[in-house]
């Protein structure tokens, strides 16, 4: 009730120009009522018509006041929500006059509401040190660096990176439209991701150092086991238990080195130094080459593997043979590990009918992916509960690495899955070289 009374008083003050006109009409009606008693029936008829007209006018006026009161209440409600947000919120009209500047924005930009609201933000303000940061947010082209830019018709998201001092903002920008769809302003929500990025960078650096330190001794251990295995194989009286133990040690050290390589690859991808060597090549030839490696393993798991080549001649594309080979290997390995006995694997290549891309797919008849877990499939270190039960080994980096390799090639990776029926993973590669991103971009 107190809030409603405050809003009513505020509405009353904002309509101060209307009240003199209202009281003038009110007293005019009283005067006409009093004066009409001295006139004929015609005067009464005229007064009746005037009264009906004034009644309709007053009713419309009070309806507008009521609507204005409701809108004021809603506006204050929305502003109170905006005020309570931890992220900075800035809104300005089409002339760049600031209309909203919440408390978080005051802290972020070290400027008060009194200084900012009602002020026109111009690029020339960048010369003033206290306004520089705000101007660069409103006009991102003036910022030192922009990355991860995603743009749609009515919305845009990007990161702004500043070096002195070192800061990073994630900005969501949108248009404000009136009832007719006309642009009346813009709003920006600014999240200070400096601390988060720093922690992510430190974690990546730690994993990089740890993986490097593990890689050398692991390689030496593998070399020692292989040497020991060769020496022991020359002995005819070697017990079966020793031979079995050597085989287990070989597998264990190979798995360890594979995990270390995946951690190193993930760290290099995030730092933008994974390295790519793009060359014109035949994707079908590469798939056939990679399938040779996995056919024997698939047969041991009682799986049938099919390669469905395109009926039409496919164009050659620019790709890194080694990196795309990693993607194909990873998808084939998953299709084998998470399949069922006597299951099938089908690899297919075809043209995208709508865009200049080739689409590679790997279909299996395995355990599938649960609906609740599908959004996390390409996340770093993610492994589904079913996958953990079916296959204990692995750290959940394979598909994360695949996604970033395909992104660097200018393509996309996605999947379709039915639980307990199987999954199909797809990735696309552009036919045109100009669709490949010009350079590798750091993720942290």
Tokens of 270: 């995030």
Task: Check whether 33 has a pLDDT greater than 90.
Answer: no
pLDDT at 269: 85
Specify whether the CB–CB gap between 173 and 193 falls below 8 A.
no
pLDDT at 6: 53
User: Token pair for residue 138?
Assistant: 């409103």
pTM higher than the cut 0.95: no
Half-sphere exposure of 349 (CA within 13 A, CB side): 21
**pLDDT recorded at residue 123:** 93
* Phi, psi (degrees; rounded to nearest 5) at 257: -65, -35
Locus of tokens 């999954």: 423
Note the pLDDT of residue 1: 47
User: Quick check: 305 pLDDT over 70?
Assistant: yes
pLDDT band at 25, cuts 50/70/90? low
Position 88 confidence tier, pLDDT thresholds 50, 70, 90? very high
Select, from the ranges 45-54, 66-75, 147-156, 334-343, the one with the highest average predicted confidence (pLDDT): 334-343
Q: Alpha carbon 26 to chain centroid distance?
A: 60
The whole-number average pLDDT for the span 250-267 is: 84
Q: How far apart are the C-alpha atoms of 402 and 406, rounded to whole Å?
A: 6
End-to-end CA distance of the chain: 50
- Nearest 5 degrees, angle CA 115-CA 116-CA 122? 120
Task: Tell me the angle at which helices 41-84 and 18-36 cross, rounded to the nearest 10 degrees.
Answer: 160
Distance CA 284, CA 290 (A): 10
187, pLDDT greater than 70:
yes
pLDDT score of 207: 74
Residue with tokens 């007293």: 27
How many Å is the maximal CA-CA distance in the chain?
Answer: 138
- Where helices occur in 102-174 by DSSP H, the ranges are 103-109, 113-116, 132-138
Whether residue 165 has a cis bond before it, omega within 30° of 0: yes
Distance between CA 161 and CA 20 in Å, rounded?
A: 55
Residue 440: its pLDDT value, please?
83
Q: Other C-beta atoms within 10 Å of 404: how many?
A: 22
Stated as kind and residue range, the H or E segment containing 179 is: none
The strand pair at 344-351 and 304-308 is best described as: parallel
pLDDT value of residue 408? 94
pLDDT digits 0-9 by tens, 262-292? 888 888 888 788 899 999 999 999 999 999 9
């Amino acid at each position: 009730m107190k809030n409603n009374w405050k809003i009513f008083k505020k509405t009353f003050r904002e309509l101060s120009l209307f009240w003199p006109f209202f009281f003038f009409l009110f007293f005019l009606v009283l005067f006409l009522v009093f004066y009409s008693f001295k006139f004929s029936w015609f005067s009464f008829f005229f007064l009746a018509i005037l009264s009906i007209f004034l009644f309709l006018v007053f009713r419309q006026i009070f309806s507008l006041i009521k609507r204005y009161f409701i809108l004021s209440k809603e506006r204050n409600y929305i502003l109170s929500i905006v005020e309570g947000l931890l992220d900075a919120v800035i809104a300005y009209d089409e002339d760049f006059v600031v209309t909203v500047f919440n408390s978080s924005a005051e802290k972020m930009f070290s400027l008060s509401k009194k200084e900012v609201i009602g002020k026109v933000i111009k690029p020339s303000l960048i010369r003033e040190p206290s306004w520089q940061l705000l101007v660069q947010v409103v006009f991102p082209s003036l910022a030192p660096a922009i990355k991860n830019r995603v743009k749609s018709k009515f919305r845009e998201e990007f990161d702004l990176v500043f070096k002195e001092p070192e800061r990073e903002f994630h900005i969501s920008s949108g248009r404000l439209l009136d009832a007719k769809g006309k642009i009346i302003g813009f709003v920006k929500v600014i999240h200070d991701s400096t601390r988060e990025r720093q922690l992510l960078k430190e974690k990546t650096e730690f994993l990089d150092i740890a993986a490097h330190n593990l890689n050398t001794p692991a390689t030496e251990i593998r070399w020692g086991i292989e040497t020991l295995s060769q020496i022991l194989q020359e002995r005819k009286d070697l017990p079966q238990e020793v031979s079995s133990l050597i085989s287990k040690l070989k597998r264990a050290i190979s798995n360890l080195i594979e995990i270390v390589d995946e951690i190193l690859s993930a760290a290099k991808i995030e730092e933008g130094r994974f390295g790519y060597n793009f060359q014109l090549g035949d994707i079908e030839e590469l798939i056939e080459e990679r399938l040779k490696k996995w056919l024997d393993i698939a047969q041991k798991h009682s799986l049938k593997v099919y390669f469905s080549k395109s009926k039409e001649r496919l164009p050659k594309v620019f790709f890194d043979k080694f990196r795309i080979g990693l993607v194909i290997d990873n998808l084939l390995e998953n299709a084998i590990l998470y399949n069922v006995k006597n299951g099938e694997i089908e690899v297919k290549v075809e043209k995208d009918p709508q865009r200049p891309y080739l689409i590679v797919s790997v279909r299996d008849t395995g355990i599938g992916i649960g609906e609740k877990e599908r959004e996390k499939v390409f996340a770093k270190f993610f492994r589904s509960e079913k996958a953990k039960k079916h296959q204990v080994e692995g750290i959940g980096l394979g598909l994360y690495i695949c996604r970033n390799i395909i992104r660097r090639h200018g393509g996309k990776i996605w999947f379709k899955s039915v639980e307990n029926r199987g999954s199909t993973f797809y990735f696309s590669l552009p036919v045109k070289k100009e669709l490949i991103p010009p350079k590798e971009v750091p993720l942290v």
